[in-house]
Amino acid sequence: MRFLKMFGVLFSVWFFFATLFLTIGGIWDSGGKADAAIVFGADQNLSKTTKSRLDHSVELFKQQRVAHIVLMAMGEGESMKDYLLSKDIPADAIVLGTLGNDLQQTVKNSLITLSKNNLNDAITLAPFYQQTRIKMLFYSNHFPHVSTAGVDAFQLADIYGLGREFFIYYKERVAVMTN
């Protein structure tokens, strides 16, 4: 019984600090520049959180921190592009990519899209709780020139997402270390 209590306390402390690490890594903005901002879509529609990411990419573009905006999307790609065009982003600055079935595949698709367009560094815009894992996946694919920019859109579902991300991050971290 004492072992279970100790395990519970240690796990709780680990969970707290790990989710704090994921949160800080996800909202941190280094203020740097890059060739492109990569906006990760969410699903088949232009949700409030996706619009928030797009708005942040517009800010980065207008601040001249990025020269291109890469849209990693499925069905919402054209809607995302139209949204950026309505915000006076030139069409030649918008690059469409495709989401994968999971975050690992989406990062790989991002790398292909960046390579095809001669873009050598990137700032990612995604849910805050996924940003640290996204950076890890870029690094593990030999693309070290990636940073994150925090987005000011939070919703109640992010609490669930953050808890879920704790387990996914460590699962993929182990997979990256063993490959």
Give Cα separations from 20 to 2, 111, 115, 136, 175 (angstroms). 27, 28, 33, 17, 22
Q: Give per-residue pLDDT as tens, 90-141.
A: 999 999 998 888 888 999 999 999 999 999 999 999 888 889 999 999 999 9
Share of the chain above pLDDT 90, in %: 49
Q: What is the mean pLDDT of the chain?
A: 89
Q: What is the DSSP string of 70-83?
A: EEEESTTHHHHHHH
Tell me: pLDDT of 45 over 80.
no
Residue 163 confidence (pLDDT): 83
Residues 6 or more apart from 53 whose CB is under 8 A from it? 39, 40, 125, 126, 151, 153
Q: Which domains does the chain have, with CATH numbers?
A: 1-178 (3.40.50.620)
Q: What is the DSSP string of 139-155?
A: HHTT---EEE---S---
**C-alpha torsion angle, residues 140, 28, 155, 53 (rounded to 10):** -80
Structure tokens at 144: 């070290």
Please tell me which residue, 43 or 58, carries the higher pLDDT value.
58
Overall pTM surpassing 0.85 (yes/no): yes
Share of the chain above pLDDT 70, in %: 98
Q: Which amino acid belongs to residue 4?
A: L
